[in-house]
């Protein structure tokens, strides 16, 4: 069963980011001050209402993403993107660590011309920190499909039970100076 996408609170903004496995992305951005909610899901493909099993085939065109809803009075998109660049390797095409395939691509899906400008400037600024070219896709947001309920709050609910959480997500949080 799929979770429903949260409605935007008045005055809030959203952006959708792909940074590899959405469990990792969600665990990072849930801890950023000013972020109101993070929903794991799928974007950027052709299949309507895709399932996790379909996404895993790499045939739907979707990326695993996190929809980040934030209060622009407390944090801005530029600050969120600063974390985004540090939270994954944007120089690897369709891969993050052992996760490989188009569903793990680095992507920023923007909702406005202003967000696009911020994303492009952020990518240019971030490029100075990487020895290889950034391959992050910057595209207009398309339909967001929330992932199945068992993918939501995955790290919080499974950090002691799932080895992936201990081996991949916890070290990522530690590297970023976030509580694990």
Question: Active-site positions?
Answer: 21
Half-sphere exposure at residue 40, Cβ-oriented, CA atoms within 13 angstroms: 26
15, β-bridge pairs: 68
Say if CB 64 and CB 151 are below 8 A apart.
no
Q: What is the DSSP string of 46-110?
A: SSSS--HHHHHTT-S--EEEEEEEE-TTT--HHHHHHHHHHHS-TTSTTEETTEESGGG-EEEEE
Beta strands per DSSP E along 123-171: 137-140, 145-146
β-bridge partners, 42: 64, 145
- Closest listed residue to residue 45, CA positions, set 138, 145, 123, 126: 145
Beta strands in 20-124 (DSSP E): 35-43, 63-70, 95-96, 99-100, 106-110
């Amino acid at each position: 069963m799929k979770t429903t996408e949260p409605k935007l609170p008045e005055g809030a903004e959203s952006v959708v980011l792909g940074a590899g496995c959405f469990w990792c992305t969600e665990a990072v951005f849930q801890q950023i001050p000013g972020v109101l909610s993070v929903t794991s899901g799928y974007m950027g493909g052709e299949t309507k209402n895709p399932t996790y099993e379909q996404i895993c085939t790499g045939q739907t065109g979707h990326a695993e993403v996190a929809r980040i809803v934030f209060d622009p009075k407390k944090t801005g998109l530029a600050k969120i993107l600063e974390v985004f660049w540090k939270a994954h390797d944007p120089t690897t095409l369709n891969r993050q660590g052992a996760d490989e395939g188009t569903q793990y691509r680095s992507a920023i899906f923007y909702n406005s011309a202003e967000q696009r400008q911020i994303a492009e400037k952020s990518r240019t600024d971030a490029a100075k920190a990487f020895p290889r070219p950034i391959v992050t896709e910057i595209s207009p947001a398309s339909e967001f499909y929330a992932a199945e309920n068992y993918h939501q709050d995955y790290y919080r609910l499974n950090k002691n039970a799932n080895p992936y959480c201990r081996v991949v997500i916890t070290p990522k949080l530690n590297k970023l100076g976030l509580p694990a």
